[in-house]
Amino acid sequence: MGEYTTIKVADGEFKAYVARPTAAKAPAVVVIQEIFGVNQVMRDITDGLAGQGYLAICPDLFWRIEPGIDITDQSKAEWDKAFALFNAFKVDTGVPDIAATVDAIRADAGCNDKVGAVGFCLGGLLAFLTAIRTSADATVSYYGVGLDNVIDEAKGTTKPIMLHIAEEDGFVPKAAQAAIIAAVKDQPNVTVYTYPGRDHAFARMGGEHYNEADAMKAGQRSLDFFKQHLG
């Protein structure tokens, strides 16, 4: 069971869910939400990372639109609300909020100064940008939507990045997937895994496209990546 903390930025403040490991000092991981807010799925991921020995934190990135969003993917009304939030959200204000979260958790007494990030869907795009625009040490992106529009930014970074791409992603067309892979194929800091037959959100437990085998495979790859780069 985690706790909530408040992070202050120039134009206000927002809440973030924090789960602590048993160790007094540990690497931190910022968990970057999907379009459903800091919901049970995101809190479970945050708790799970704490169980793996990480100081984990999941910030509320929709706070400027509507703070405290906590919905599921189980009804049309919730999907409609989620897409409305997605359309209202501004990436260029969200990334600085993540940067503030990275800085805040790095300054936490329980952090050993290493901070990574992992994001899903919208969070997958934001995780990629976190690698480039913030001080995070290593990032993992799951089925990021819109990566093809910002992939050129990867050319200037040496931070370790892992991308999980669902080959049948309904939100990331094949041409976009090909453009992403082509753009980073010669960059040793970027690792790409593709998942044949998988649709968007194959790692979202309880979701329509959840696939346990590939979710576990991607999860282990992510944990190994964080162990390598964060300790």
On the CB side of 165, CA atoms within 13 Å amount to 23
Q: Which of 137, 148, 169, 214 is catalytic?
A: 169
Q: Which of 60, 73, 137, 200 is catalytic?
A: 200
| Structure token digits, residue 223 | 């944990």
200 is catalytic: yes
**b/e sequence 201-228, b meaning 16+ C-beta within 10 Å:** bbbbeebebebeebbeebbeebbebbee
Q: How far is CA 182 from the centre of its chain?
A: 22
Distance (Å, whole) CA 46 – CA 57: 6
47 is catalytic: no
Catalytic (active-site) positions: 169, 200
